[in-house]
């Protein structure tokens, strides 16, 4: 029988070298900078004005890092099939440089207030590639890193049976990695919208040491392939981010573009989730709103060094199916002989 002094059995509730003790802490004040709808013809400068207003509000609240949503500079244009929309200039929705002529003011305002930020936008590279991208900018205005969305949802071809399209797979190429960076006193990673539903996203980022995962999203309340999910959108949103945070000992900041955008209702519910899996700050509106939280990155160690001590407890040799196969491979149906 195990005694109080028996150290032979691994105790998952205790760090490998003894109980976690009080630490000095790595405090950081963060905010999801939720946006309400952006109109199809809303000029870029008007959108940037809204982003700067949120930066200025953040400054009065001591915020050091703000997270803007996915495609935060434009309406969610993948809802339109361009051939059917002669007035739609698709290239207008993409940024060719970052910062560019319109976004330079945002960089300057954030730097003036010593506020870092993460911003989602449609990227058009000089050699013609298009990505759904999010960047991370430090408090001194330097671009720390860029992430390109890995999990592109929706479809490639026009599907007229839908109330609105979701043509991300037509308008973007997928990204191919989950990088992490040292920034804001910790290790930071990013993900975009549909990425947040996949456990692989968080685990890949956590294997890169992520303590803080920044996620922008545009989630229509109506999911055409299976409308039974419509009333569950808010539940699924927090379910996946809370699970990702807890199972990887990370903070997660989820920032929505919510409200009714060009006739499509989108989920708001921007939030900050702690490594214990609790939503510690939550939006109360569907419009432009700062969702502020005082976090402590040292809280991550309580999970990373105990229950989710990867080095001690993970079994990658047993998880080979995760990278070796894509679709599920169920066992074969039993044969008549097998049943007898
Ligand atoms: N922008 C997104 O990635 N939206 C998806 C919808 C289409 C399901 C999402 O996962 O929220």
SS3 assignment for 38-50: CCCCCCHHHHHHH
| CA 26 to each of CA 182, 185, 256: distance values in angstroms, whole numbers, following the listed order | 13, 7, 26
Closest atom of ligand 1 to 76 CA is 1
Pairing mode, if any, of strands 27-34 and 65-67? parallel
How is 232-290 classified by DSSP, letter by letter?
GHHHHHHHHHHHHHHHHT-EEEEEEB-EEETTEEE----EEE-TTS-EEEE--SSSSEE
φ, ψ of residue 48 to 5 degrees: the values are -60, -35
Residue closest to 215 by CA, chosen among 236, 235, 189: 189
pLDDT of res. 11: 47
With a CB cutoff of 8 Å and minimum separation 6, the contacts of 179 are 145, 147, 189, 208
Per-residue pLDDT tens digits for 199-232 = 999 999 999 999 999 999 999 999 999 999 999 9
Tell whether ligand 1 has an atom less than 6 A from the beta carbon of residue 248.
no
| CA 278 to each of CA 21, 32, 52: distance values in angstroms, whole numbers, following the listed order | 21, 16, 29
pLDDT of res. 14: 57
Q: How far does residue 62's CA lie from ligand 1's centre (Å)?
A: 31
The domain total for the chain is 1
Closest atom of ligand 1 to 217 CA is 1
Q: Residue 20: give its domain's CATH number.
A: 3.60.110.10
- Model confidence at 294: pLDDT above 80: yes
Q: What is the mean pLDDT of the segment spanning 269-287?
A: 98
Buried residues in 3-21 as b, exposed as e (16+ CB within 10 A): eeeeeeeeeeeebeeeeee
Question: What band does 309 get if pLDDT is binned at 50, 70 and 90?
Answer: very high
Q: How far does residue 191's CA lie from ligand 1's centre (Å)?
A: 12
- d(CA 21, CA 19) in angstroms, rounded, equals 6
**What domain range is 211 assigned to?**
5-339
Helix H or strand E segment including 189: strand 186-192
| Dihedral sign for Cα atoms in the order 302, 307, 309, 310 | negative
Tell whether ligand 1 has an atom less than 6 A from the beta carbon of residue 172.
no
| CA 152 to each of CA 71, 162, 168, 257: distance values in angstroms, whole numbers, following the listed order | 13, 18, 6, 17
Q: What is the mean pLDDT of the segment spanning 299-318?
A: 98
Helix H or strand E segment including 58: helix 44-60
Among the residue ranges 76-90, 126-140, 194-208, 292-306, the one predicted with the least confidence is: 76-90
Q: What is the mean pLDDT of the segment spanning 63-82?
A: 97
pLDDT of res. 216: 99
| CA 253 to each of CA 126, 141, 151, 289: distance values in angstroms, whole numbers, following the listed order | 31, 20, 18, 14
Ligand 1: which of 193, 197, 241, 265 to mutate, most ligand atoms within 8 Å of CB?
193
- Model confidence at 1: pLDDT above 60: no
- d(CA 220, CA 231) in angstroms, rounded, equals 11
- Model confidence at 253: pLDDT above 70: yes
Q: What is the mean pLDDT of the segment spanning 253-271?
A: 98
Q: What is the mean pLDDT of the segment spanning 9-26?
A: 65
φ, ψ of residue 292 to 5 degrees: the values are -100, 145
- Model confidence at 95: pLDDT above 60: yes
- d(CA 156, CA 316) in angstroms, rounded, equals 34
Q: How far does residue 218's CA lie from ligand 1's centre (Å)?
A: 6
Q: Is 70 a catalytic residue?
A: yes
For residue 96, count CB atoms less than 10 angstroms from its CB and return exposed for 0-12, middle for 13-18, buried for 19 or more. Answer: exposed
Question: What band does 85 get if pLDDT is binned at 50, 70 and 90?
Answer: confident
Q: What is the mean pLDDT of the segment spanning 132-147?
A: 98
Q: Is 111 a catalytic residue?
A: no
Other Cβ atoms less than 10 A from the Cβ of 55: the count is 22
């Amino acid at each position: 029988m195990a005694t109080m002094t028996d150290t032979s059995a691994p105790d998952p509730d205790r760090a490998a070298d003894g109980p976690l003790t009080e630490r000095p802490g790595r405090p950081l004040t963060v905010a999801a900078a939720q946006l309400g709808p952006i109109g199809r013809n809303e000029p870029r400068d008007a959108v940037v004005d809204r982003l700067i207003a949120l930066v200025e509000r953040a400054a009065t609240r001591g915020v050091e890092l703000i997270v803007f949503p996915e495609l935060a500079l434009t309406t969610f244009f993948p809802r339109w099939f361009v051939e059917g929309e002669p007035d739609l200039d698709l290239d207008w929705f993409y940024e060719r440089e970052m910062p560019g002529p319109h976004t330079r003011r945002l960089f300057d305002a954030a730097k003036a207030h010593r506020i870092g930020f993460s911003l989602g936008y449609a990227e058009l590279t000089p050699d013609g590639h298009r990505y759904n991208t999010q960047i991370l900018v430090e408090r001194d205005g330097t671009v720390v890193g860029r992430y390109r969305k890995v999990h592109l949802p929706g479809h490639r071809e026009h599907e007229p049976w839908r109330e609105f399209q979701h043509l991300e797979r037509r308008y973007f190429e997928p990204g191919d990695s989950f990088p992490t960076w040292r920034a804001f006193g910790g290790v930071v990673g990013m993900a975009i919208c549909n990425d947040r539903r996949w456990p692989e996203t968080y685990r890949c980022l956590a294997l890169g040491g992520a303590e803080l995962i920044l996620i922008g999203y545009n989630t229509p309340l109506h999911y055409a392939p299976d409308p039974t999910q419509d009333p569950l959108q808010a539940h699924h949103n927090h379910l996946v981010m809370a699970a990702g945070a807890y199972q990887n000992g990370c903070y997660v900041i989820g920032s929505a573009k919510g409200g009714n955008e060009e006739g499509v209702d989108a989920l708001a519910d921007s939030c900050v989730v702690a490594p214990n899996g609790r939503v510690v700050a939550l939006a109360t509106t569907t419009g432009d709103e700062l969702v502020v939280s005082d976090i402590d990155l040292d809280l991550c160690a309580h999970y990373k060094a105990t229950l989710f001590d990867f080095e001690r407890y993970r079994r990658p040799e047993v998880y080979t199916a995760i990278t070796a196969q894509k679709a599920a491979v169920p066992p074969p149906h039993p044969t008549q002989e097998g049943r007898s």
